[in-house]
Amino acid sequence: MSPPRAPLLPPNARTMPAASVAVEAESVFNPKGITPTAEQRAIQLARKPHIVIEANAGAAKTTTLALRLAQALLRGADPRRVRVLTYTPAAVQAFNDAMARIGLAAEVRRQVCVQTFDAFCAERLLAIEGAAVPMLDRAELLRPHVLAAIDRVLHNADERHPDEFTFDGRHEASVEGLLSEFLHLKGTMQWQAEAADRVLTPKLATDLGREYATLKIFHAYEHIRRGGHPDHPVFRAEHDATYDLARLLSDEDAWIGVGADGEHPLAMGLHLVLVDEMHDTNRAMFTVLREVMARNRAGFVGVGDRDQVIHALAGADARFMGEAFDREVTPATRMPLSTTWRFGQRLADAVGKLAQKPCMAQRPSGMADTEVELIRTTDPAELRFQVRRLITERIGLEAKAPLSAIAILLRQPHQSVALENLLLDHGIDHRTHGFLPYLQRPEVLFVRGLHACARNALGLIERTETREAVLRALLRFAGSHVDTGDLSPEQAEDTALLDKLEKQAIKAVCDDPTLAPDFLNNQVLRNAPDAVRPLLEDALDVIDSDDPDTWQRRFVRVLQPQRLAARMMVRQQDIGQVVGNLEGLIQSASGYDHLTSFFRAMNEREMRQHGMPKKHALLLSSIEAAKGLEFDHVILPGLNKGEFALGGHSVDNRNLLYVAMTRARRRLTILCDASRPSAYLRDAGLL
């Protein structure tokens, strides 16, 4: 017998009098603390079985979905037969908070199951597989398996296209990029949809818009992950449960006799399925959602903002809250949620023009409209001056406002180099989000290592961790290794032993920095591949000149970082970031009399950065990482033609700008080059 259900409302909650309900005479859930807009109330009271809410940024999407749930529970839906699905753990917490905020009773909230898609899929797979699969939830835990897949591909004697592999496979710098590619392949299920029965060739990879090496490594990695067994993987990473369940769902025979009494594991007797942040849905998630709706006589409500689709890296696609849902699940009623509470009408007008949709703002009484300003600069020096002015001006005007109320959002990580130096040199506390501080990026550590060893200046790097990192980066980018003496063939293949010997050699140099020049000559240069050694020697000649002008003119040309990066990395975008970071580093030497003083300043900056408090610091972030956050003042530099819209004018780039602009509450400042402003600024009515 089922346990008695808890009351839906807390003791102090009320229902709307029947006479005030225009839709029909029924009890209406009245939330605590807010007065729903007409749009919210219409969504709450609608009696349609399948609803997709088309929302704008800052329009209280999650709160509105919670209102809809509360009304369904008041109408008799069993909270134990409700599933709320979303993309991230943060979104799960946000929905739980929204239920509490509007006044749903605690006992009811405990009965409503709110999960990420991946957690839901892992739960369902457990019923199928009968045992939990180990979860590797950090990139460092996945790294050995990716490296093993690379090794398997590079040493395959039967490989027909070995010339497609330009990297040597000994480096870890390719791991992060490959994991990103794997995430996209799994989210889109592209291989299953477009090439499952075809033989992988370089031409097929090109037809799929992929690199041949990436696809070969992906297949090797998946073989390792599955341990040669298709039905019970050795491990899973984030989003793998969704992918694995979606693949199973494409095989009808896999479900015969599966589950208790032969029932389908997704036949759960659900009354209601809710999806928050529906714009983040990818093909794998949608495949699972489609089957859930097919196996349960459940109502459906999904909410999303198709202009916030920025998780394209994971295969997110707005079609799954649009025509794909109507075609593959059932035609849905679409309802608008256009009024934003986050910012004022001036910004709402701009983002509405950019996204080509209505956007209305509702501000609390007495709160000023959001200020939107466009500043045109003539050169990088003026850009830095304006950014500093904006920060110090705000600190001066609002002494009580913390720096954390300000965010500088960037399209590409390498844009942070000059800005980080600006903030460090003027003592402005900050933290980075979505990318490493530039001084910790491997290619920058590599160049710092070249200088430190060539000029016998390793001792000027104060932190032991940084000394170790620059020496390790030297070996990785040079394609070198530490001489390990007379090892037996078996020992030479022992990766753990080689790593141990390398760590010992690096520690010895860190403990006695005067050994750094010998380390450079006897380990890095002597053991570098023949194709790389001349590049390093020419780069060292430039460093030996100690002349910033020569450095700026010649260093990138002689070092050819793109060639070095291609030996370590698979994805072109990762290679491009290496070049961008080094170009930013080289440009930042302008104004120094000697390279030695520039690198000394870098070491001093690192120490300042390490000692900065993070709690109330300004945020320097990628746009993607800032999604879901909001700030009093958002600064967007680099809105230039050819700099913001990577790959050309596209929906993804437009969505990124939409997300960036809509993070602002009180003030949005956009900076662009006066000679080449982005066309998106004209689309938004700002030019």
Question: What pLDDT score does 349 carry?
Answer: 94
Residue where the block lists tokens 């006992």: 107
Cβ 388 vs Cβ 426: under 8 Å: yes
Residues 6+ apart with CB under 8 A from 509: 458, 467, 471, 515, 516, 519
- Given strand 82-86, what is the order of strands in its sheet? 113-116, 82-86, 272-275, 299-304, 50-55, 333-337
Span between the terminal Cα atoms of the chain, in Å: 66
CA dihedral 107, 111, 117, 120 (to 10 degrees): 140
Q: Running DSSP on this structure, what letter comes out for residue 677?
A: B
The whole-number pLDDT of residue 358 equals: 87
Q: 3-state DSSP call for residue 108? A: helix
Q: Give the residue from 63, 65, 35 showing the smallest Cα distance to 52.
A: 65
Cα→Cα distances 606→460, 467, 510, 587, Å: 11, 12, 17, 18
CA distance 351 to 360: 10
Crossing angle (nearest 10°) for helices 283-295 and 173-188 = 30
* Structure confidence at residue 631 (pLDDT): 93
Q: What is the pLDDT of residue 168?
A: 59
Q: How many residues does the chain have?
A: 687
Where would I find the H helices in 520-547?
533-545
Instruction: Give the pLDDT means over successive 10-residue stretches in the chain (687 positions).
Output: 45 38 68 90 96 93 95 94 93 94 95 96 90 86 88 88 72 75 93 88 91 92 85 89 93 57 83 94 96 95 88 81 95 94 93 91 82 94 92 67 89 92 92 92 93 93 94 90 78 75 91 94 91 93 92 90 79 81 89 92 92 89 88 94 78 89 94 94 93
Q: Phi, psi (5° rounding) for residue 55?
A: -110, 160
CA 175 to chain centre: 16
Contact 83, 113 (CB under 8 A): yes
Give CA–CA dist 626/656, Å, rounded: 10
d(CA 297, CA 299): 7
Cα→Cα distances 661→397, 410, 630, Å: 22, 12, 10
Q: Can you give the pLDDT at residue 122?
A: 95
Phi then psi for 260, rounded to 5 degrees? -60, 130
72-78: which pairs have CB atoms within 8 A and are 24 or more residues apart? 72/271, 72/272, 72/299, 73/8, 73/29, 73/104, 73/108, 74/8, 74/9, 74/15, 74/27, 74/28, 74/29, 75/26, 77/271, 77/272, 77/299, 78/5, 78/271
**DSSP assignments along 450-469, one per residue:** HHHHHTT-GGG---HHHHHH
Cα R_g (the chain), whole angstroms: 28
- C-alpha 4: how far from its chain's center? 43
Token pair for residue 258? 């599966």
Q: Are 350 and 686 in contact (CB under 8 A)?
A: yes
Which residue's structure tokens are 């209406």? 28
The answer to whether 279 and 248 are in contact (CB under 8 A) is: no
Which residue matches tokens 């290794």?
A: 481
303 phi/psi in degrees, rounded to 5? -135, 140
Q: Give the type of residue at 684.
A: A
Q: Which of 549, 554, 559, 553 is nearest to 450 (CA)?
A: 559
H-helix or E-strand spanning residue 297: none
d(CA 571, CA 181): 8
Closest CA to 662 of 305, 337, 348, 338: 348
Residue 395: enclosing H or E segment and its boundaries? helix 380-397
pLDDT of residue 310: 67
- Residue 343 is classified by DSSP as S
Spatial CB neighbours of 323, under 8 Å, sequence gap ≥ 6: none
| Total Cβ atoms within 10 A of residue 368 | 9
Is 92:229 a contact under the CB 8 Å cutoff?
no
Determine the Cα–Cα distance for residues 52 and 582; give it in Å rounded to an integer.
46
Query: Residue 12's pLDDT is what?
Result: 39
pLDDT value at position 21?
Answer: 39
Which residues are registered as beta bridge partners of 618?
430
